[in-house]
Structure 1
Amino acid sequence: MEKVRLGDYIEEYSVRNKNDENLPVYSVTNTQGFCRDYFGKEVASKDKTTYKIVPKGCFAYNPSRINVGSVDWQRKEERVIVSPLYNVFAVSERLRQQYLYYYLKSNFALQRIRSVATGSVRDNLKLEMLKEFPIWLPSVEEQDAIVKKLDIVNEVINFRRQEILKLENLAQARFVELFGDPDNNEKSWDIDKMEHLCEVGSSKRIYQNEQSMEGVPFLRISDLVNRIDTGSKKCDLYIPIEKFAELKEQGLVPRSGDILLTARGTLGRCYIVQSDDEFYFQDGMITWLSNYDRRITALYISYLFEMPGFRKQIDALQAGSTVAYMSISMTKKLNIMVPPIELQNQFADFVKQVDKSKDSVQKALDEAQLLFDSLMQQYFG
């Protein structure tokens, strides 16, 4: 079986929302695929007559984000709209959408995307470039059989992830039991500003000419979110080892126990730096919490940010803003309830037990992921 030209089986679908229909606005991310309200209020007041319509069954991708896997086919609603920056295309009946989806998520396709797009404007992948990609095209029946296998393993992966999520929810329930709802501080704990409980800052700016294709990983906000959501340490941007060593010597590199906080898009997602982590990160988009006061622990802060009652503060800070963004100065002024350190340590012991259960589930998840990666290599490598 020979590879065929992808462009012989896909066709651009470029229909604008000229009549300003009240269609749901979607984005496409590398972890969630088609999803609503990724940028929150950012699109609420925009003129959407130039937005592109994506019927059910069509693909869409942001040309400057497909290099990290932000591509999907629309299976949510009859029609949705996406940013006019997106490329939208329909697929031939001889090519199953889910088969093409797995192909575009494969290492082979992602490496080719990065290779072809590098050097163009903002590393964009034009649809005409994508059309030149080679793809194995077995019969529709064989495509269905391949998709079925991949879907089954993917379902196992998602099931394991749901198990981990349930364990995380258990820890959150224990948090509320011990500390109460942060919205009304029903247990009357002391309140203090974040800036009095830890240092709030960001990284030193790394310019594009300082980045490299190998060395120490350089995390953008999408890489950090992916690390939080999946545990994946995949990254396609780096800084030279010498540059990282220089930053580390200056005390500008996060240490074990520090928190990295998402500051744009989905706000307030926390990642606690691990002892074996070695990376640098994008300034402006990610906030860095370090050097905690003895009254507070990193674990407590990270769980506090997950509480709906606390997140109301973050939402209130966005009032009147068209962009979901939480600046360093905003973060410094957050009101933090400060329960006794003994209670925070008690919570940490509980989380440690939950983490043991998560570790066993994670092992099963890793095994399923290994099988999935092996099958993807077999079919698309």
Structure 2
Amino acid sequence: MFKLPSNWQVKSLGEICSITTGDKDVNEGNVNGEYFFFTCAAVPLRSSSYSFEGKAILLPGNGANVGLVLYYDGKFEAYQRTYVLNNFTTDVKYVYFHLRERWKISQENKQYGSATNYIRFDNIANYKIPIPPLPIQKQIAEILEKADQAKQKRKDANKLTDEFLQSVFIEMFGDPVRNPNGWEKKMISEISKVGTGGTPSRENPEYFIGNIPWVKTTEVDNNRIFETEEKITEEALNESNCTKFPKATVLIALYGQGLTRGRTSILEIEACTNQASAAILPSKKINSIFLWRQLLHFYNHLRSLSRGGNQPNLNLSFIKNLKVIFPPLSLQQQFAEIVNKTEALKEKQKQSKQELEKLFQSLMQRAFKGELV
């Protein structure tokens, strides 16, 4: 247990702020409303009215997002199971960052309910927080806010990188679905072999303790695949309908939960896949990176082709017969070079993002031990 500086105090949240809940039901929201409506979801709804104004911390009172900590400054509405903390005698941002670092972990074993988990008023009111003098609170909050903003800027930079590559593709080739530039189109089966994978029997756990990468559709996420969550053995490969696909194979998710169906990836390693993905093998007739980036633009089109009941699927026949644009190979390769250079920059951004995250967590831990300022 660490010792706080002598000029710090420990107080409960109930001693330093007002704690209440909203009084609105979820169905009282209005998608066109002017004000944010904070419920127990991670993303607020909208409302035509507001009951709160000013700086506040919001804590979901039940459900999967118990432990989430949100900050807002302005006029807003709140759900009847969302706790609103306001009228602070301390610096609000200081308390916000402390709760972001400690609140979720502190409540893991203090929740109630079986069907739906929830917390009670006393969970919040009795929660203890170290309180330094107000000038130190403000210093800590300012340092952590700057570190948090740096993290967000790096996240925004990654998004801009992806948007840049989409724009470059459209600039060079146009929308591949509508094909306004009139490029020659070919079915995928005309330019490459298309296959699928399989799943070794789960009844034999030893199949999944090998070193052969095995891709699940949840990992097909419009990305380059360098690693997989699970790996299988040679026996699993030989004794099932699995196939090992080469590097530069393009994967399309045929089915899966939520938004998975229609997503694509490209293998940066040799790997097997489950039967829920189509695998387009690399071919000398088309550049794999060009094909992969083209198929990213086909996402909505692919989903519209799906058939079935509650969970519509794609199938290999759809993929084989899907027509893609086929510009000169030299132009495809030119685009692929741009992608590779841009992706290399993105990888550096990713490393920078991880370093910023580690720095932020370190600052948070030191801050509330009295070791930062």
Whether the TM-score (by the shorter chain) exceeds 0.5 is yes
- Write the deviation string for residues 345-381 of structure 1: whole angstroms up to 9, x where unpaired: 4322221112233344444434333321211221357
Question: Residues of 1 paired with 2:61 and 2:286: CA distance?
Answer: 41
Structure 2 residue identity aligned to 1:175: F
Q: Would the alpha carbon gap of residues 18 and 266 (structure 1) be closer, same or farther in structure 2, given more than 3 Å must change?
A: closer
Q: Which residue of 1 aligns with 2:360?
A: 372
Question: Residues of 1 paired with 2:256 and 2:187: CA distance?
Answer: 21
Normalising by structure 1, we get a TM-score of 0.60
Contact kept? 1:257, 1:273, Cα under 8 Å: yes
Contact kept? 2:63, 2:118, Cα under 8 Å: no
Contact kept? 1:54, 1:88, Cα under 8 Å: no
TM-superposed deviation, 1:329: 4.8
SS at match of 2:359: helix
- Write the deviation string for residues 144-168 of structure 1: whole angstroms up to 9, x where unpaired: 3322111111222222333333333
SS at match of 1:290: strand
Q: Would the alpha carbon gap of residues 6 and 77 (structure 1) be closer, same or farther in structure 2, given more than 3 Å must change?
A: closer
SS at match of 1:59: strand
Question: Residues of 1 paired with 2:237 and 2:38: CA distance?
Answer: 36
Question: Residues of 1 paired with 2:52 and 2:237: CA distance?
Answer: 49
Q: Which residue of 2 aligns with 1:13?
A: 22
Q: Which residue of 2 aligns with 1:72?
A: 70
SS at match of 2:346: helix
Q: RMSD value over aligned CA atoms?
A: 5.7
Query: Which fold has the larger relative contact order, with Cα–Cα distance below 8 Å and residues 6 or more apart in sequence?
Result: 1
TM-superposed deviation, 1:176: 1.8
Q: Would the alpha carbon gap of residues 328 and 183 (structure 1) be closer, same or farther in structure 2, given more than 3 Å must change?
A: closer
Which of 100, 104, 113 aligns to 1:105? It is: 100
Q: Would the alpha carbon gap of residues 276 and 335 (structure 1) be closer, same or farther in structure 2, given more than 3 Å must change?
A: closer
TM-superposed deviation, 1:6: 4.5
Which of 34, 38, 50 aligns to 2:43? It is: 34
- More helix, by proportion: 1
Contact kept? 1:183, 1:312, Cα under 8 Å: no
- Write the deviation string for residues 236-266 of structure 1: whole angstroms up to 9, x where unpaired: xx99x9x999977854999966647595555
Which deviates the most, 198-207 or 93-102? Answer: 198-207
SS at match of 1:378: helix
Which of 148, 152, 170 aligns to 2:146? It is: 152
- Write the deviation string for residues 184-234 of structure 1: whole angstroms up to 9, x where unpaired: 11233325379x864467978999xxxxxxxx9x9996x987x97xx9x9x
Q: Which residue of 2 aligns with 1:190?
A: 185
Contact kept? 1:191, 1:337, Cα under 8 Å: yes
SS at match of 1:135: strand
Contact kept? 2:195, 2:278, Cα under 8 Å: yes
SS at match of 1:66: coil
Question: Residues of 2 paired with 1:341 and 1:159: CA distance?
Answer: 36
Contact kept? 2:40, 2:82, Cα under 8 Å: no
Identity within the alignment, % = 14
Q: Which residue of 2 aligns with 1:59?
A: 58
- Write the deviation string for residues 314-365 of structure 1: whole angstroms up to 9, x where unpaired: 575699x9x9x76445995694514266544432222111223334444443
Question: Residues of 1 paired with 2:77 and 2:152: CA distance?
Answer: 26
Contact kept? 2:147, 2:356, Cα under 8 Å: yes
Question: Residues of 1 paired with 2:293 and 2:282: CA distance?
Answer: 17
Return 5+ residue gaps in structure 2 as ranges.
Answer: 1-7, 204-212
Question: Residues of 1 paired with 2:217 and 2:127: CA distance?
Answer: 27
Q: Which residue of 2 aligns with 1:337?
A: 324
1:70-149 correspondence to structure 2 within 5 Å: 71-74=69-72, 78-79=76-77, 87-94=81-88, 98-106=93-101, 108-116=102-110, 121=114, 125-128=117-120, 130-131=123-124, 133-138=127-132, 141-149=135-143
Q: Would the alpha carbon gap of residues 114 and 305 (structure 1) be closer, same or farther in structure 2, given more than 3 Å must change?
A: farther
Question: Residues of 2 paired with 1:246 and 1:61: CA distance?
Answer: 48
Q: Would the alpha carbon gap of residues 254 and 292 (structure 1) be closer, same or farther in structure 2, given more than 3 Å must change?
A: closer
Contact kept? 2:38, 2:77, Cα under 8 Å: no
1:326-365 correspondence to structure 2 within 5 Å: 327-329=313-315, 332=318, 335-339=322-326, 343-365=331-353
Return 5+ residue gaps in structure 1 as ranges.
Answer: 38-47, 208-215
Contact kept? 1:200, 1:290, Cα under 8 Å: yes
Larger radius of gyration: 2
